[in-house]
Amino acid sequence: MNNILSTPDYLVFLVYFVIVATYGIWVYNKKRSKVAGGDSKDYFLAEGSLTWWAIGASLIASNISAEQFIGMSGSGFKMGLAIATYEWMAAITLIIVAVFFIPVYLKNKIFTMPQFLHKRYNGTVAMIMAVFWLALYVVVNLTSILYLGALAVSSISGFSLEFCMYAIAIFAVIITLGGMKVIGYTDVIQVFFLILGGLATTYLALSLVSEHYGSDGVLNGYAIMTDKASEHFEMIFAKDNENYLDLPGLSVLIGGMWIVNLNYWGCNQYITQRALGADLKTARNGILFAAFLKLLMPVIVVLPGIAAYVLWKDGHFQAEMLQGGEVNPDRAYPVLLNLLPSGLKGLSFAALTAAVVASLAGKANSVATIFSLDIYQKVFNKTASERQLVNTGKITIIVSMILAVLIAPHLGIDKKGGFQYIQEYTGFVSPGIFAMFILGFFWKKTTSNAALFATIGGFLLSVFFKFLPNFADLSFLNTTGFAVVNPASGLYEIPFLDRMGFVFIICIVGMYIISKIENAKGVVPNGLEVDTKMFKAHPGFVVGALIVALATAALYIMYW
């Protein structure tokens, strides 16, 4: 397997780097000429300057990274198209966020998630979550994306893992220091390379399958895949499927998958931040554009993994897929990239780098936004000038990236699998956070103590359900599908998504009870300004949303 880039590959990558860097510098200089002295809202949010297509592209660029290209492709190798539920359900989720969440944020002039918590609840809740989010973004998100991205780039280019980590981190810092506007508009280019290079890899993978079985063309390759690995084209798993713990049947449609997606797309700083600097119509159109792109993503990140599985099952890549003597599904995508011809390999290399760098830049900017506006300005320097806030943000970006580089190799991310690593650790807090947000949005009687219960209690409940099988026999839940045997431990365990659903329900009930008790004692919470008229969408958005919904339904019906 050739893991060395050729001269044409370097030239293609150089063209990508020059285009992104030049455009970023142009946007930055244009912004500086209009904003004197450094405007913090312009730097952190690109207030009023991102178009709908820049918002949509930036949402996808920030979301799609190494955990999708490497981790989700690996999951495609292991379990098949069912993993695409994270992408296709996200398309519907984005529509919900655009209709119901974004209007609340914009109507109440909310620019960061801790700011929402401070305005709706109190400073204690906001500060606890600000510190938590900083730790989560640095220790889980930045580290996993940086490490997985460097691992993939290293396996393709032949450069050392350490060199790739530092190079990617420096590239991301350069883009991030330009502020949200630079990130938003350079993300358009990043997404172009991401999709173009990703489609090239998919084309190669399907062509390889077709040629291996004596045929030609990508459509024939796809037909062969559905025949040779029919079990890899089922969206809803039966209880006896070995991957049921990861994707427990109908829970992906009516259970915990909604919590995963609504929390990620609606209550997540580095996602919602893209739309918070725009007017409502522009923000909605941008989110709708992102929803259309999400429908395309499984073609880029899942099908190559399935193709690699079909070829591996028939004797290909036997040695290349091994790590530590065992098959590592996360190696599927890098293995395919190394088969690309000269030049095309450079394009896919650029696509992978674009995905990693764009995602890192978005997350680092969110770290800077939360620390500068919600911690530094409120605790350390309440009279900070606009210039001081911007400079603090830039220092935070550099520090957070250095921390990520230093601690990433020591977290065992490669052993857990990147996609699973992120889902596991964010899943311990997602149910409580989402419960706190959803009641905070739409039930004015929700109190601050109820929010604290969801934040702290939700985490503790998640830990409890995680380790419950170690001291309790859950076999009685087997008939309901809420507990199945984990082959690795031999214990009956509650599937990950179902655990999240249980915790969410308990948090909602607990918040309701606490709030009612405090309401009876005369506690009057801080309600948000919510007007049902603001949920009405313009006709063009409604038509686009219906198309997304129908397309998603058609995909599930086709691959049920």
301-336 pLDDT, tens digit per residue, is 899 889 988 888 887 777 777 766 777 787 788 788
| Residue ending a domain, choose from 423, 451, 476 | 423
Q: Is residue 382 part of a domain?
A: yes
Claim to verify: residue 284 and residue 138 sit in the same structural domain? yes
Claim to verify: residue 418 and residue 437 sit in the same structural domain? no
Token pair, residue 449, equals 């103590």
Residue 354 CA to residue 190 CA, distance in Å, equals: 5
Claim to verify: residue 50 and residue 115 sit in the same structural domain? yes
| pLDDT of res. 545 | 92
Token pair, residue 95, equals 């529509």
Token pair, residue 459, equals 């985490």
Claim to verify: residue 310 and residue 410 sit in the same structural domain? yes
Q: How confident is the model at residue 271 (pLDDT cuts 50, 70, 90)?
A: low
Higher pLDDT, 448 or 189: 448
Please report how many Cα atoms fall inside a 13 Å half-sphere around the Cα of residue 453, on the Cβ side: 20
Amino acid at 319: A
Q: How confident is the model at residue 211 (pLDDT cuts 50, 70, 90)?
A: confident
* pLDDT tops 80 at residue 401: yes
* pLDDT tops 80 at residue 164: yes
Identify the weakest region by mean pLDDT among 62-71, 81-90, 283-292.
62-71
* pLDDT tops 70 at residue 85: yes
Label each residue of 421-466 as H, E or C.
HHHHHHCCCHHHHHHHHHHHHHCCCCCHHHHHHHHHHHHHHHHHHH
Question: Containing domain of residue 479, as a range?
Answer: 427-529
Higher pLDDT, 499 or 420: 499
Give how far Cα 275 sits from Cα of 136, 233, 452, Å. Answer: 22, 35, 27
Q: Give the residue from 78, 488, 264 showing the smallest Cα distance to 256.
A: 264
Claim to verify: residue 112 and residue 234 sit in the same structural domain? yes
* pLDDT tops 90 at residue 93: yes
Angle between helices 143-157 and 161-176 (to 10 degrees): 120
One DSSP character per residue, 235-290 reads SS--TTSTTTTTS-TTHHHHSHHHHHHHHHHHS-HHHHTTTTTS-HHHHHHHHHHH
Amino acid at 339: L
Find which of 22-36, 501-515, 531-545 is predicted with most confidence, using mean pLDDT: 501-515
Claim to verify: residue 248 and residue 373 sit in the same structural domain? yes
Claim to verify: residue 306 and residue 439 sit in the same structural domain? no
Q: Is residue 6 part of a domain?
A: no
| Residue ending a domain, choose from 394, 423, 452 | 423
* pLDDT tops 70 at residue 424: no
* pLDDT tops 90 at residue 512: yes
**What pTM was computed for the model?**
0.80
| pLDDT of res. 42 | 56
Claim to verify: residue 219 and residue 294 sit in the same structural domain? yes
Instruction: Compute how many other C-beta atoms are within 10 angstroms of the C-beta atom of residue 468.
Output: 16
Judged on CB neighbours under 10 Å (0-12, 13-18, 19+), 91 is buried
Residue 78 CA to residue 263 CA, distance in Å, equals: 26
Claim to verify: residue 119 and residue 254 sit in the same structural domain? yes
Claim to verify: residue 330 and residue 386 sit in the same structural domain? yes
* pLDDT tops 50 at residue 35: no
Length of the chain as a residue count: 560
Q: Kindly give, in sequence order, each residue whose CB lies less than 8 Å from that of residue 206, ignoring residues fewer than 6 positions away.
A: 218, 221, 222, 225, 303, 307
Q: How confident is the model at residue 511 (pLDDT cuts 50, 70, 90)?
A: very high
DSSP-derived letter for residue 100 is I
* pLDDT tops 80 at residue 157: no
Cβ–Cβ < 8 Å for 81, 332: no
Kind of pairing, strands 492-493 and 484-485? antiparallel
Q: How confident is the model at residue 420 (pLDDT cuts 50, 70, 90)?
A: low
| pLDDT of res. 514 | 94
Of the chain, the end-to-end C-alpha distance in Å amounts to: 36
Arithmetic mean of pLDDT, 284-296: 90
Q: What is the CA radius of gyration of the chain?
A: 23
Residue 36 CA to residue 277 CA, distance in Å, equals: 19
pLDDT single digits (tens) 104-149: 888 887 777 777 888 888 888 888 888 888 887 887 778 878 887 7
Residue 236 CA to residue 251 CA, distance in Å, equals: 9
Q: Is residue 560 part of a domain?
A: no
Q: Is residue 198 part of a domain?
A: yes
Q: Give the residue from 462, 454, 456 showing the smallest Cα distance to 513.
A: 454
CATH of the domain at 184: 1.20.1730.10
* pLDDT tops 50 at residue 36: no
Q: How confident is the model at residue 270 (pLDDT cuts 50, 70, 90)?
A: low
Arithmetic mean of pLDDT, 194-202: 79
Arithmetic mean of pLDDT, 505-517: 94
| Residue ending a domain, choose from 360, 392, 423 | 423
**Helix, strand, coil distribution of the chain in percent, nearest 5:** 75, 0, 25
Q: Is residue 270 part of a domain?
A: yes
Residue 80 CA to residue 301 CA, distance in Å, equals: 11
Name the helix (H) or strand (E) containing 493: strand 492-493
Claim to verify: residue 352 and residue 438 sit in the same structural domain? no
Q: Is residue 535 part of a domain?
A: no
Q: Is residue 502 part of a domain?
A: yes
Arithmetic mean of pLDDT, 26-43: 57
pLDDT above 70: percentage of residues in the chain: 85
Residue 45 CA to residue 365 CA, distance in Å, equals: 9
Arithmetic mean of pLDDT, 264-275: 73
* pLDDT tops 50 at residue 37: no
Claim to verify: residue 407 and residue 448 sit in the same structural domain? no
Q: Is residue 556 part of a domain?
A: no
Arithmetic mean of pLDDT, 243-248: 82
Q: Residue 128's Cα: distance from chain center in Å?
A: 23
Domain count, the chain: 2
DSSP-derived letter for residue 341 is P
* pLDDT tops 80 at residue 188: no
* pLDDT tops 70 at residue 496: yes
Q: How confident is the model at residue 41 (pLDDT cuts 50, 70, 90)?
A: low
